[in-house]
Structure 1
Amino acid sequence: MAKNKTTQTEVDVIDFINAYVDNDQKKAESFKLIELMKEWSRFEPKMWGPTIIGFGSYHYKYKSGHEGDAPLLAFSPRKAQFSLYIYSKTEQSDALLKDFGKFKMGKACIYIKKLADIDLSILEKLCTTTIAYLNEHHECACRN
């Protein structure tokens, strides 16, 4: 079975941001997202793979037998936009997206250009809704 590409690493999150993010606004917003996601998840930020900053973890197992661990909440300050890994496909999350602001939806993430494009109170609700969903449906560090 294939090995998961995105696993937790020992790379320092602050060092990563300072080395990887070359735009001052994106750097400041990265630190703001860390502050917010740390507060909402109650977990310290950790690097997952080379460019994802994650908070907490949960264990998933697909019907195919493939299983692994992933962060409860995460983001990546990619060059063009932020990738937010905060979404669980639920009616509540879909309803929240209607008033979220300016974003694009990918398969497993939400893309935003800058924090000013979105409603941070809805970001919080999306994050806490996702944590609740993961807690209910997976083995989750959020239970401890």
Structure 2
Amino acid sequence: MTANKTAPTPVDPHEFIAAVPHPTRRADAELLMEMMEVASGQPATMWGPTIVGFGTYHYKYESGREGDAVAIGFSPRSANLALYGLTIAPTAPALLAKLGKHKRGAGCLYVNKLADVDVEILAQLARDGYRHMMDAVHVQPQG
């Protein structure tokens, strides 16, 4: 059994975001932290060195791999904002069509800056993604 390599850390997410060098990326990260806290009802927690996460769930695959993972979250990377858990809800495809300039990866949504997207649509993606993850795995949120 192999656990998830990315795990919660004691690092303060506010301090992590305050140290983001690019002013626009830092301001976007501050807004995302507030948005995702509201969407999930969970406090921000650092996962690994660069992911700000909200809520957790436990997963177990048939292969035996299991662990805990972040329900929704983001990472303010130098090239873009990587957003996690926002593309999984059944409502996501219709919302993504209205979001604005973005790219999708394997389970991730990439946005250059929040000014490129409809922030209300992004907030709905966060709410729906969190709710879907909690419902899909039949867990109670772990704070």
TM score, norm. by length of structure 1: 0.91
Question: What amino acid is the match of 1:3?
Answer: A
Partner of 2:11: 11
Between the aligned partners of 2:130 and 2:15, the Cα distance in structure 1 is: 27
Is the 8 Å Cα contact of residues 81 and 113 (structure 2) preserved in structure 1? Answer: yes
What is the DSSP-based 3-state SS (H/G/I as helix, E as strand, rest coil) of the residue aligned with 1:38?
A: helix
Aligned to 1:26: 25
- List structure 1 segments (4+ residues) > 6 angstroms apart after TM superposition: none
Structure 1 unaligned blocks of 5 or more: none
**SS of equivalent to 1:57:** strand
**Aligned pair count?**
143
Query: Which residue is 2:51 aligned to?
Result: 52
The question of 1:83 aligning with 2:82 is answered yes
| Aligned partners of 1:88 and 1:130 also within 8 Å | yes
Is 2:111 the partner of 1:125? no
Shift of 1:17: 1.8
Once the two structures are superposed, residues 26-46 of structure 1 have per-residue CA deviations (whole angstroms, 9 ceiling, x without a partner) of 111111111111111111100
Larger relative contact order, structure 1 or 2 (CA cutoff 8 Å, min sep 6): 2
Residues 60 and 44 (structure 1 numbering): CA distance in 2 closer, same or farther, change over 3 Å? Answer: same
* Seq. identity, %: 42
Supply the distance in 2 between the matched residues of 1:49 and 1:56 (Cα, whole angstroms): 15
CA distance in 1, matches of 2:6, 2:126: 20
SS at match of 2:106: coil
Q: Structure 1: how far apart are the matches of 2:97 and 2:105?
A: 16
CA distance in 1, matches of 2:45, 2:56: 10
Contact (CA 8 Å) 1:100, 1:123: kept in 2 or not? Answer: yes
TM-score by length of 2: 0.91
8 Å Cα contact 1:58-1:69 kept in structure 2? yes
